[in-house]
Structure 1
Amino acid sequence: MAYWLMKSEPDVFSFADMTAKTARGEPESWHGVRNYAARNNMKAMKLGDEAFFYHSNIGKEIVGIIRVIALAHPDDTAELGKDGKVMWECVDVEAVKPLPKPVTLATIKATPALAEIALVKLSRLSVSPVRDDEWKLICQMGGL
């Protein structure tokens, strides 16, 4: 299993929104990503991979864990390219659980063992990989 971090602005779509959709049995298509590296990260995801749900802009903290439940597929919010194909893709996810204690960006930046995490190194990337050791440490920091 691989681990990821996926960002969302909580005033647009929060972890509470994600949890409510999952409770209703509705998957969430992680659509709207318009960055090639982020898209390619979603194309690399496998069923069952897990991701941290990060509240960007407001809060700037990891607040929960989500799981990939459908592989990359055309993003229905994207326009067609010149060749008539959708160039943007997304995965479907569901909520797994909240972190008992959200882990802030400030805390992550202050933790030497997380100095190389993509969240810090590639701060504008909305979907990024997380190494196994980073995942374990953040889970511990978040009370799991």
Structure 2
Amino acid sequence: MSYWLIKTEPSSWSWQDQKRQKTTAWDGVRNYQASNNLKAMSIGDLCFFYHSVSDKKIMGIVEVTKLYSPDPSDETGRFGMVDVTYKEPFLNPISLETIKHHPMLQHLALVRQSRLSVMPIDSDSWDIILNLSQRD
């Protein structure tokens, strides 16, 4: 299993939207590096669901439930999408500031490539972030 972080602007698609709909296509990605990360995902991989722009917090976890396929919203045919399904919320969403100030998380793309919308998370960092969230 691999771990990822996927970003969304809450005004476009929020954690509450994800919770209500359960499963959605993670479409609209138009960056080649982010797209390659979507291609690398496997069914059962877990993703942190991150609110970008205003909130800048990891809200919870979603699971990849459908492999990379063409994104019908991309008229060029270059980009694709995966499906993700709501898995669990964080009791305490983790802010970008908390991540930036944690000495063991400085290497994350979230800190170093702040504009990347889909990024891998190593298993040690995944565990640290889970512990920070104090989830059930």
TM-score (norm 2): 0.97
**Rg bigger for which structure?**
1
The alignment status of 1:134 with 2:125, answered yes or no, reads yes
| Separation of aligned partners in 2, 1:34 and 1:54 | 17
AA in 2 matched with 1:43: K
Task: Give secondary structure in 2 for the equivalent of 1:10.
Answer: coil
Say which SS state the counterpart of residue 85 (structure 2) adopts.
Answer: strand
Q: Residue 88 in 1 paired to residue 79 in 2?
A: yes
Measured after TM superposition, the shift of residue 60 of structure 1 is 0.3
Counterparts of 1:42-53 in structure 2 under 5 Å?
42-53=38-49
- Rounded Cα–Cα distance in structure 1 between residues aligned with 2:79 and 2:11: 23
1 CA distance for matches of 2:134 and 2:53?
A: 23
CA deviation profile, 1:19-46 (whole Å, cap 9, x unmatched): 1001xxxx21100000000000000000
Tell me the CA shift for residue 11 of structure 1: 1.1
Q: Helix, strand or coil for the counterpart of 2:33? A: helix
Give the root-mean-square deviation of aligned CA atoms. 0.6
Aligned residue among 101, 111, 114 for 1:123: 114
Identity among equivalent positions (%) equals 44
* Residue identity matched to 2:130: C
**What residue number does 2:17 align with?**
17
Taking the aligned partners of 1:116 and 1:35, their CA distance within structure 2 comes to 21
- Structure 2 spans left out of the alignment, 5+ residues: none
Task: Work out the CA distance in 2 between the residues paired with 1:56 and 1:123.
Answer: 10
Count residues with an aligned counterpart. Answer: 135
Structure-2 residue corresponding to 1:114: 105
Q: Deviations over 1:44-70 (max 9, x none)?
A: 000000000000001100011000000
**2:88 paired with 1:97:** yes
| Aligned amino acid, residue 87 of structure 1 | R
| TM-score, scaled relative to structure 1 | 0.92
